Amino acid sequence: MMASNGTCGVNGDVSSVPSKSSGQVLVNGAAAEDSCLSQPLNGEAKRPDRFTFSVEPTIEDIRRMQAEFTDERDWNQFHKPRNLLLAMVGEVGEVSELFQWRGEVAEGLPDWTEAEREQLAQELSDVLIYLVELAEKCRVDLPQAVLRKMALNRLKYPARKVHGSAKKYTEYKD
């Protein structure tokens, strides 16, 4: 689901499914291809265990599937922005419960059982589904908004100034 075994692959102890369009194997929805081929960014060393998402479904696919699901049940009358936001916050709370009392959790969740990983995948999916539907109802094009926000973040947090620091942008001096 999310773990890499540190050898440029995806943890093989989870189920795999072939993608319908590419024919590649997906493990918990993620491409199980060798991520070691990715190019380093800005001269940084490669991270052989960098996780990547699968190509499908796209955010638009998710929006369309949820719209169809909602339409089939006549739930649009209930799916107003405020209600979707509150439902999403509730789902974030369910994600939080999975991490509660565990202390710091290692990347890749090596100490989690497969059942715990699957529960996390379901709860994170609920959060994403509500986020996408909320964006739809508010007419926010998420992919474009992300591009704008990343550009803004690059301006607020120039790598040469902030490298290795967790300070807020207002705390940096020129």
| Residue 5 confidence (pLDDT) | 35
- pLDDT tens-digit profile of 43-75? 555 666 789 999 999 999 999 999 999 999 999
Question: Backbone phi, then psi, for 108, in 5-degree steps?
Answer: 90, -10
| Residue 14 confidence (pLDDT) | 36
Q: Which residues contact 22 (CB under 8 A, 6 or more apart)?
A: 55, 56
Tokens 């290795």 locate to: 164
| Residue 13 confidence (pLDDT) | 35
Span 128-133, mean pLDDT?
98
Q: 173 falls in which pLDDT band (50, 70, 90)?
A: confident
Query: Whole-number mean pLDDT of the chain?
Result: 81
Name the burial class of residue 85, with classes exposed (0-12), middle (13-18) and buried (19+) by CB atoms within 10 angstroms of its CB: middle
Q: Is the pLDDT of residue 35 over 80?
A: no
Q: 22 falls in which pLDDT band (50, 70, 90)?
A: very low
Number of separate helices (H) and strands (E) present in the chain: 5, 3
Span 146-171, mean pLDDT?
91
Instruction: Return d(Cα 70, Cα 92) in angstroms, integer.
Output: 21
| Residue 1 confidence (pLDDT) | 36
| Residue 168 confidence (pLDDT) | 83
